[in-house]
Amino acid sequence: MDRLRPIRYNELVKKIQRAGYTPIRKSKHIIYFHPQKLITIPIPHKHSRNVPIGLLEKIVKEMKISKEVFNKL
């Protein structure tokens, strides 16, 4: 089983966009949408620290991809 490593918010956004998600709305959170999977994912605004591992695992689960695939993005 692959583990997620700590990443910065900028890197998370790049990985989400490489997975085919596009930003559709910016409010308290930036909302990303995948047109083929019809999935929307809210991402909190950038912070100076890394994304907490719990939040990162939740985002990967919502994206419906494995941790291995996410790490390779």
**Identity of the residue numbered 60:** V
Domain ranges of the chain: 9-72
Mean pLDDT of 43-72: 90
Task: Answer yes or no: is pLDDT of 66 > 70.
Answer: yes
CB 22 within 8 A of CB 53: no
d(CA 42, CA 31): 4
Model confidence pLDDT, tens digit, residues 31-48: 999 999 999 999 988 777
Q: Which position has the higher pLDDT, 26 or 24?
A: 24
- For residue 67, give the 3-state DSSP assignment: helix
Provide the CA 11 distance to its chain's centre, in angstroms: 9
d(CA 33, CA 66): 18
Q: What is the CATH number of domain 9-72?
A: 3.30.920.30
* pLDDT band at residue 17 under the 50/70/90 scheme: very high
